[in-house]
Structure 1
Amino acid sequence: MQVQICSLNIVSEISVSFTPSILPSKCPKINVSNDIYEILKSNWNMGTFYLQEELKAVFLNHDNRVMGILPISVGTKTSCSCDLPKLLGAALKASCTKLILAHNHPSGSIKASKADIELTSQVNAACKLLNLKLLDHLILGDSGYCSMADEGLIL
């Protein structure tokens, strides 16, 4: 019988990197909620917009320039969950300082539900622990969008 001995000094090295494809100064700058709404509209798959909820995160640098959009989860016609470790891990890996959440309502309604407000509160609290700023949570529907920041729902 052959016994393999594993050295305690041999471990995998973890590397973290982020390689942007666009210079930060060339990325779109967000000044108001409509700015991000227009970017999201042009980056949303309208073929599934009315079939299922999708939650996305928009990562921004300190100058409010969009670094990228990350799909977080795909749900059902009436709900979508948020994988906080995936969201915050990606935000930290991208070295962003601010983020915006966005999800669609397949029903077309842009009214924030109780679950939407609770999710926003949870994400906001988690962001504060990591020195990240949740700027907004947009709900997209067929008549436009609702900005939870504009509605005073993000403290």
Structure 2
Amino acid sequence: METKVNEIAISYSGSIKTKLLPKVSSSRDAANLLYKHWDKQNIELYESFKMLLLNNSNKVKGIYTLSKGGITGTLVDVRIVFAVVLKSVTTSIILAHNHPSGTLKPSQPDKMLTEKIKKAGKLFDIKILDHIILSPDGEYFSFADDGIL
């Protein structure tokens, strides 16, 4: 009897020329780009977690939504983070989530998740450049600027 298995295909499709991709040079650049692409109708209703996928020149290849959660939190599976990062041949990422309450102070779970992703990134030589927390009015907190990354 023949044993059958599924074939796994991995692909990444990017239609924007590299020279046209936006470059991130600061936390403000990242926060502005993220806020521009956030769902404004729901930013104060529930938490979402996204990441900017960057190339070696800190140009943004894309934004990926990892999860949408509840009023006070959202779950992030680190395996999915790195499945997306590796599939897109990304060299660095910027993590981001919103706080519907407008509070910009990172919670202990926010800090623990960031550290977990940072440790996993080291295994793959993936740099975690920042973790941005957005408020509904466009203000932000940067882990990197605050020295806790």
- TM-score of the pair, normalised by structure 1: 0.91
Corresponding residue to 2:103 among 91, 103, 109: 109
Q: Distance in 1 between matches of 2:29 and 2:92?
A: 15
Q: Is the 2:133–2:141 Cα contact (8 Å) retained in structure 1?
A: yes
| Equivalence for 2:14 | 20
Equivalent residue for 2:122, pick from 119, 122, 128: 128
Q: Which runs of 5+ in 2 are unaligned?
A: none
Quick check: 2:35–2:138 contact (8 Å CA) kept in 1?
Answer: no
* 1:55-76 deviations in Å (ceiling 9; x for gaps): 0011000000000000001111
Q: Which structure has the greater CA radius of gyration?
A: 1
Q: Decide which of 133, 140, 144 is 1:149's aligned counterpart.
A: 144
Correspondence for 2:63 among 60, 69, 72: 69
CA distance in 2, matches of 1:17, 1:149: 31
Report the alpha carbon displacement of residue 111 of structure 1 after superposing the two structures with TM. Answer: 0.9
What is the letter of the counterpart of residue 56 of structure 2?
Answer: H
Provide runs of 4+ in structure 1 moved above 4 Å.
Answer: none
The reply to whether residue 83 of structure 1 matches residue 77 of structure 2 is: yes
Per-residue deviation, 1:17: 1.2
Q: CA RMSD in A?
A: 1.1
What secondary structure is seen at the aligned counterpart in 1 of 2:12? coil
CA distance in 1, matches of 2:5, 2:73: 41
- Deviation digits for residues 37-83 of structure 1 (CA, Å, limit 9, x no counterpart): 11111100010111100000110000000000000011111111111
Partner of 2:76, secondary structure, is coil
* Larger relative contact order (Cα-Cα within 8 Å, sequence gap ≥ 6): 2
Identical residues among aligned pairs (%): 39
3-state SS of paired residue (1:118):
helix
Distance 2:67 2:110 in 1: 14
TM-score normalised by length of structure 2 = 0.95
SS at match of 1:81: coil
Figure out how many residues of one structure are paired with residues of the other and give that number: 148
Q: Provide the residue aligned with 2:91 in structure 1.
A: 97
Cα distance between partner residues in 1 of 2:142 and 2:7: 41
Give 1:37's match in structure 2, choosing from 15, 31, 38. 31
Residue type of the alignment partner of 1:66: V
Residue 50 of structure 2: aligned partner = 56
